Chains A and B, each alone.
Chain A
Amino acid sequence: MTSETSNIKPLIYIILLNLLGAALISIQYGGVNLEAVILTGAFCVVSIVSYVVVYVAELGDPYLFLIISVLGSVGCIMQTRIKPEYGIRQLKWFLLGTACYFVIMLGYRFLSRWLTKLLPLYLGLSLALFIATQVFGKTSHGAKNWIYVGGVSVQPSEVIRILFVLGLAVIFTAPMPEKLESKVKIKPRLLRLVTASAVTVVSAAFLLLQREWGITLLFFATYFFFLYVYGASRLYLALNGLAAAAVAVIGATKVSHIKVRVDTWLDPFADASGKGYQITQSLFAIGEGGMAGRGIGAGSVYFIPEVHSDFIFSAICEEMGVVGGLAILMLYFVLVYRGFKIALSCTNAYNKAVAFGISFILGLQTFIIIGGVIKLIPLTGITLPFVSYGGSSMLTTFAACGILQAISGMKEELTDEIQ
């Protein structure tokens, strides 16, 4: 966490990137583009201010926000390139997200003492959100995953995944309440495993009902690796793995929705105008982009369905090339790496678990959606953090990263000194 104000290179790059983005979009629309100019100004100001605030106030990891800012810039430039209104709306979400980032960060810092005692809140809130989705949910693209709150569509599973991590972290790291321990005659370790499994099974059941295959995978994998890190026996891990595999196999063969996805993954060209339409159009885009790309604004990304949300990465590959796509991938990797690093250097057990869980979810989510649109794995509808269009995704990812920022900045309790 030692950094220096004189090292402003990353900031200079951010400014250059945004200027270039504005130029590219202006070329595309054949004249100076107001939206692009607003974007550039906003991003430059937000990046510089945030960096200085984090640095001066010693709020922890100084890189997190910079990386997020570049991802946000690329996202907004691509959104504006697709449709100028999208860009401006995305910018609004980004600014709101930034506010959310710092609010959550401060909130987490101040509330950190109580966070481990709020397990019933996490679980209750999750359950309420799941039920609300089930009752009021709107279906889009085969998944029942949206609810409308005051005219704004929200994807509750985005919020639940943070609550899920906070909850799992409590379950695995918080000391058992003594009362409970004396009352229930089971070992604490076993109790933890059972609670975690129960929470996961209930969540997965809701998610499967709502046909959120990708997010189910996300939840399960998070739970699985929590088990792994927090010392479940190999037998228990294997059992969980087998159970998940069984569910996956049954799903892939019996549930027509999943079967279709697996089939189109194996051979999208079998029904390129129907079920394989999305993925084949995505592959055409990536293929046409080649290594170097067709230039931002010069591609034909409008042929890609859902280009502004799930398939934004295909558009990036078409216009910025595979080399550009891989740059974005590396940005995510550095972000996830920072998350893991924060978890590793954190000495508070609960915070460590939270940082680990958040980083893991962030990384896996990125893998699932990018892997899906390039046909490495079956496609499931998940947003690409900070780049895909959408408010609830933006706000919740910002909130999650705000927590990471908070953990990175908390003064460590130097537990190693009392050895």
Chain B
Amino acid sequence: MKYNRKIVTVLVIMCVLFLSIFVYLTWFSLFRADDIKTSNYNRRLWEREDSVLRGTIFDRHGTELARSELVDGGQKRVYPYGSLYAHVIGYNTRSYGKTNLELAYNDYLLKTESIAEIIQYGMDGSQMKKGCDLVTTLDHGLMETAKASMKGRSGAVVALNPQTGEVLCLFSNPSFDPNEDALTKNWSELSTDESSPFLPRATKGLYPPGSTFKIAVAAEAIESGMEDYTVDDGGSVRIDGRIFRNAGGKEYGELTLARGFKLSSNVLFSQLGVELGAPRLKNAAERFLITKKIDFDIDTSASAWPYDGNMGKTDLASVGIGQGKLMTTPLNMALVAGTIANGGVMMKPYLVKSAVSPNGVTVYETAPEALATAIPEETAEKVAGYMLDCVESGTGTNARIRGVEVCGKTGTAQNEREGKDHAWFVGFAPKDDPQIAVAVIQEYSGGSGGSSCAPVARDIIAEWLE
């Protein structure tokens, strides 16, 4: 029949429609479902909590960081260390939802035995089933040290193992008590508090990196064959009518890249920024994922590259010294230090080592994986050398530890508040077998990175290497 051909065409269109459902549904289930499920609007998140006792969260040595207790008619989440872990573990309340690890690992915390486990261990007779416990990579000792060293100042301390990506310390201040009673009592106060205690500074706080960005710029310069770049440092330089000064207006004279790095010369790095130009500067940031959102167990912020196309010379010079509009998170800067430490390979940071069922079966385990290869090993080696000099005899001497080769870079980032610079220190140690990479920031400290942050980093590194 003459119409058959066209009917077959319509049938083919119908096939395509059905196939699109097939493909979309499969894609959704495999790649989107896990993100969507954790929405606080998903009431199923709470449903299981009526029949399953939420798992405990431990630090790497077995210290309980969060546990659930049976109280009449339900369970109660207890955070023994109060505000210390609020920005890592988060909270778990009916009225305010779930955040951070409590949200991201809700499925595991409420996961009961699998079919295989029931076959192996038999049925558990108890009424209230138990969810899986989480073993985190955090070190409670380091968290306490960070808290003590920061002496109540606003900011963040991030420490991680550069070879694996395990996050050892993720401290943010100010914070809040995540226990439900306290949260209910303080909620309105907390949410209007001008110091933003709800902001997890370590992972979501965006700051100009200041001189710590010189690590990336120096790496980019080496990669661009400009290792031998030298300038005559007269204490300040005028670029397109704007003056770039060294801290304290110091004059260093003839400077190589290595010495300029060690002394954190703004004169050298502002001119180097202009010399490198926009595409390479952007590349410097992108190598270290500074403009990318980092895939992490809890939510992170990322700033986009803030310039479109044509950057003026002053913009180039500003970015060269880590000022300008480029922003990053403390976690990201710890990863930059970790990348240099790990021979140019950035490891994917993670917070949860494993999830273990009440029968002791490991149902989830994180394996270290590389996130990106930022720079070749030789380049990393050279930058590490600069960073070592910086701590040994440059701006970062406050981070020195007897008998340990500590590498680091200080930073002082100007911001909207005049005379209240953010202070930075990022670094790692020991140089030849790096065990820990750190990033420390103190907001509006007014001090320099060398004087206020380097000692905090030193305390953390010293404690970890002990």
Contact = CB atoms under 8 A, between A and B. Distances in A.
A78 interface: no
B41 A273 contact: yes
Nearest to B29: A322
Interface stretch (A108-116, A123-131, A329-337): A329-337
Contacts of B8: 340, 344
Contact of A376 (B7, B9, B20, B43): B20
A360 B11 CA distance: 8
B112 to A, nearest CB: 12
Nearest to B37: A287
A374 B7 contact: no
B43 A225 contact: no
A378 to B, nearest CB: 14
Interface stretch (A23-31, A37-45, A363-371, A386-394): A363-371
Contact of A337 (B11, B13, B24): B11
A237 to B, nearest CB: 12
Given A340-B14, A347-B1, A303 B25 contact: no
Given A287-B34, A367-B17, A230 B29 contact: no
A370 B23 CA distance: 13
Q: Is the interface of A mostly helix, strand, loop or mixed?
A: helix
A286 B31 CA distance: 12
B359 interface: no
Nearest to A368: B17
B36 interface: yes
B3 A229 contact: yes
B14 A280 contact: no
A142 to B, nearest CB: 22
Contacts of A303: 43-44
B10 A329 contact: no
Q: How large is the interface on A (under 10, 10 to 19, 20 to 34, 35 or more residues)?
A: 35 or more
Interface residues of B, number: 34
Given A272-B39, A333-B18, A229 B44 contact: no
Given A284-B39, A284-B44, A360-B14, A229 B7 contact: yes
A45 B257 CA distance: 88
B10 A229 contact: yes
A284 B36 contact: yes
Interface in B26-44: 26, 28-30, 32-34, 36-37, 39, 41-44
A356 interface: yes
B22 interface: yes
A376 B24 contact: yes
Nearest to A277: B41
B136 to A, nearest CB: 25
B408 to A, nearest CB: 42
Nearest to A292: B29
B47 interface: yes
Contacts of A263: none
Nearest to B6: A229
B25 A325 contact: yes
Contacts of A248: none
B25 A356 contact: no
Given A303-B44, A322-B29, A367 B6 contact: no
B126 interface: no
B11 A280 contact: no
Contacts of A287: 28-29, 32-34, 36-37, 42
Contacts of B26: 322, 326
A322 B28 CA distance: 9
A288 interface: yes
Contact of B22 (A228, A272, A326, A340): A326
Contacts of B3: 229-230, 349, 352
Contacts of A333: 15, 18
A364 B11 CA distance: 11
A371 B28 CA distance: 12
21 contacts: A225-B10, A225-B13, A229-B7, A272-B39, A272-B41, A283-B28, A284-B36, A286-B25, A286-B28, A288-B33, A288-B37, A322-B26, A326-B22, A329-B22, A340-B11, A344-B7, A356-B10, A363-B17, A364-B14, A367-B18, A371-B17
Given A287-B28, A344-B8, 9 more contacts: A229-B6, A286-B29, A288-B33, A303-B43, A322-B28, A333-B15, A356-B7, A364-B14, A374-B21
Instruction: List the 7 closest pairs (A to B, CB-CB), nearest first.
Output: A287-B33, A284-B42, A322-B29, A272-B41, A229-B6, A287-B37, A340-B11
Interface of A: 225, 228-231, 269, 272-273, 280-281, 283-284, 286-291, 300, 303, 317, 322, 325-326, 329, 332-333, 336-337, 340, 343-344, 347, 349, 352, 356, 360, 363-364, 367, 370-371, 374-376
